């Protein structure tokens, strides 16, 4: 069978043409996955939009309603970094539903990937850092409510520390949050994960992979999760505008293979989300993101 890939055209939103967030990467990524034959004969798995009750499992209901009704206070909108219009709300709701669907497909098939998600700066009270809703946080709580999972491990390899995910799960002993990131990068005020590894600027492939390979197996053995989420942000790349690390294309591919192989060799289901990546060259950026799906396809 083909790798289950979740995508919704609503992952795009209406942003100003000069906005620093490369919103066009989602559409281009989907095109590349189709052009390169990574999408199965049945096409993408298309999620619906998440409802307020789902999202409120991970977020304050007042904030959820503000997003749904386009009433987000300007202070919070500035912290998020998006114009909080209807298309941005639709995108956030669709991405959340996409990660829920990817998680369910991972439980069924062993591995599945969303073409969005990884909004790890969104905290319980409100969003931040281009993240409106914490899709992994919602997905874990939805699947728990369905009694589909118990213990969860979040492996966050985005270049930025996963402060929002740490906040969402701060009182959740059944979810272990692990973030490996550039220590001096955003956010300035970090929320402690269960395990944070902050790397120095310009850390390259070899050192990064050594740290990850020495850490991940022990976490899987100690926590024994029913499901693993992998935030495969490509912003650790040396060309990324908002990163401070120095991974190459080959290093990112090796990282993805290391995470996926380590998880799947233990027979554990793995749900992958796209995470961050910031480049003005949308085609190059989308192709960088597509590496995750090429690696994941080897494990289905």
Please write the tens of the pLDDT for every residue from 143-185. 999 999 999 999 999 999 999 999 999 999 999 999 999 999 9
Report the distance separating Cα 83 and Cα 143, nearest Å: 30
The whole-angstrom separation of Cα 37 and Cα 42 is 12
Cα angle for residues 161, 196, 208 (degrees, 5° grid): 85
Binning pLDDT at 50, 70 and 90, where does residue 75 land? very high
pLDDT band at 4 (very low <50, low <70, confident <90, very high): very high
Name the β-bridge partners of 197.
180
Residue 116 and residue 73: Cα distance in Å, rounded? Answer: 25
Q: What is the mean pLDDT of residues 109-133?
A: 98
What are the structural domains of the chain? 24-299 (3.40.800.20)
HEC secondary structure over 56-118: CCCCCHHHHHHHHCCCCCHHHHHHHCCCCCHHHHHHHHHHHHHHHHHHHHHHHHCEEEECCCC
pTM score: 0.97
Confidence band, pLDDT 50/70/90 cuts, at residue 41: confident
Q: Quick check: 46 and 7 in contact, CB under 8 A? A: yes
Q: How confident is the model at residue 81 (pLDDT cuts 50, 70, 90)?
A: very high
pLDDT value of residue 264: 98
Q: What is the mean pLDDT of residues 120-143?
A: 98
Phi, psi for 178 (deg, rounded to 5): -125, 125
What is the number of helices (H) and of strands (E) in the chain? 10, 7
């Amino acid at each position: 069978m083909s790798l289950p890939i979740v995508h919704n055209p609503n992952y795009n939103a209406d942003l100003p043409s000069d906005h620093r967030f490369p919103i066009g990467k989602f559409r281009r990524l989907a095109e590349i996955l189709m052009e390169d034959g990574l999408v199965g004969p049945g096409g993408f798995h298309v999620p619906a939009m998440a409802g307020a009750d789902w999202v409120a499992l991970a977020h304050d209901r007042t904030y959820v309603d503000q997003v749904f009704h386009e009433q987000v206070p300007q202070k919070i909108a500035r912290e998020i970094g998006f114009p909080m219009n209807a298309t941005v709300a639709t995108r956030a709701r669709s991405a959340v539903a996409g990660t829920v669907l990817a998680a369910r497909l991972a439980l069924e098939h062993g591995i599945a990937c969303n073409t969005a998600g990884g909004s790890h700066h969104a905290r319980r009270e409100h969003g931040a850092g281009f993240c409106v809703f914490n899709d992994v946080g919602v997905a874990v709580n939805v699947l728990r409510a369905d009694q589909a999972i118990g213990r969860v491990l979040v492996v966050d390899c985005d270049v930025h520390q996963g402060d929002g995910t740490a906040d969402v799960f701060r009182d959740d002993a059944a979810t272990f949050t692990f973030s490996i990131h550039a220590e001096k990068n955003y956010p300035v005020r970090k929320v402690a994960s269960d395990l944070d590894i902050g790397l120095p600027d310009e850390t390259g492939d070899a050192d990064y992979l050594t740290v990850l390979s020495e850490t991940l197996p022990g976490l899987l053995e100690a926590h024994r999760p029913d499901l693993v989420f992998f935030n495969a942000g490509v912003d650790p790349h040396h060309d990324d505008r908002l990163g401070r690390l120095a991974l190459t294309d080959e290093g990112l591919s090796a990282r993805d293979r290391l995470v996926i192989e380590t998880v799947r060799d233990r027979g554990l289901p793995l749900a992958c989300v796209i995470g961050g990546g910031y480049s003005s060259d949308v085609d190059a950026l989308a192709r960088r993101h597509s590496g995750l799906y090429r690696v994941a396809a080897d494990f289905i």
